[in-house]
Amino acid sequence: MKTIRLGTSGPQVSQFGIGAMSFAGIYGDATFAESHAVLDACRAAGATHIDTSNVYGMGRSEEIIGDWFKQRPGARADIVLATKAGIARGNERPRNNDPDYLEACLDESLTRLGVDHVDLFYIHRYDAAHSPEDVAGTLKRLIDAGKTRAVGFSEIAPSTLRRAWTECPIAAVQSEYSLSTRAPELGLSQACAKLGTTLVAFSPVGRSFLTDAPFSHARAQSHAFLANNPRFMEPNYSANITATDRFRRLAADMELPAAALAIAWVISRGKHVLPIPGTKNTAHLAELLRGTEVTLTAEDLDRIEAVLPVGWAHGDRYSDVQWQGPERFS
């Protein structure tokens, strides 16, 4: 398993992590046993990064991970653990970066996780009621309090990252990044590389489009998020299946699962890029992990680009409602 440094001075971490929203999130819940099996397989493979949030299942994902730590003495020492806060569900104020609110959320997360600190604490959604500098100052105080070792932001613009960095080193920025969503190449990836910030890529297999078993339209319609996501609405859905069929054929020609090829592509974007796919089952995890063993050549990358050129996806990655919170940039 390849490793990279988290931020400029953080721990070495595998260049692959598990996104734990799949344990309790927008695609439904997994059982404790299913989730623990995924975590066990990650640990056995040397994947040392677990990413979760206080809003995944309203704390359920963190509880699952906390129970896994409890049942596996010594596992915590092997893991670089991240969680997030800043989304205020069921509140007239959907994003809240107030210092007291963030610290209270982190304290609750630590209780659910059964730990005294996390290795990385993110602002899940930036709240423009505060300046980036002020939010970074809040995060620095949480480091000083010993509740997190490093800090990050999710779904922000490069300009916000640069401003936050003036107050506190930002170890990681999380953003959707895959062959189907390449917006980070419009400055965010470059800013991360320059500052020494790790770019943590969520949804690296395009919410299933870049796998050998993409969600059926019927299954997508059974999940509220996907049912209202432009890429999973007709006629976009069928057009995206047709487009990614070319990628699946290419992966088969290369004797790889499509998911493995998608992960290998993300890793090829730079030593500062860390994909965090999510899954509920160990068979799919094995396909994802296969991607960490692949080094793509220039010819391989050209072939991928030929079947899925920049801008191939039909429909925006979010609906108007889903865009409330993430920062757009160009």
CA distance 206 to 262: 9
Strands 28-29 and 24-25: antiparallel
Do 24 and 278 touch, CB atoms closer than 8 A?
A: no
Sign of CA dihedral 182, 188, 189, 190: positive
Q: Which of 56, 126, 177, 318 is catalytic?
A: 56
**Sequence letter at residue 116:** D
CA distance 243 to 314: 9
Do 79 and 110 touch, CB atoms closer than 8 A?
A: no
Tokens 């979760």 found at: 52
Bridge partners of residue 83, in order along the sequence: 121
**Sequence letter at residue 321:** V
Sign of CA dihedral 322, 93, 174, 70: negative
| Helical residues (DSSP H) of the chain, grouped into ranges | 32-45, 60-71, 99-113, 132-144, 158-165, 188-195, 217-221, 224-227, 236-253, 258-267, 282-290, 298-307
Residue 27 bears catalytic tag: no
Q: Where in the sequence numbering do the catalytic residues fall? A: 56
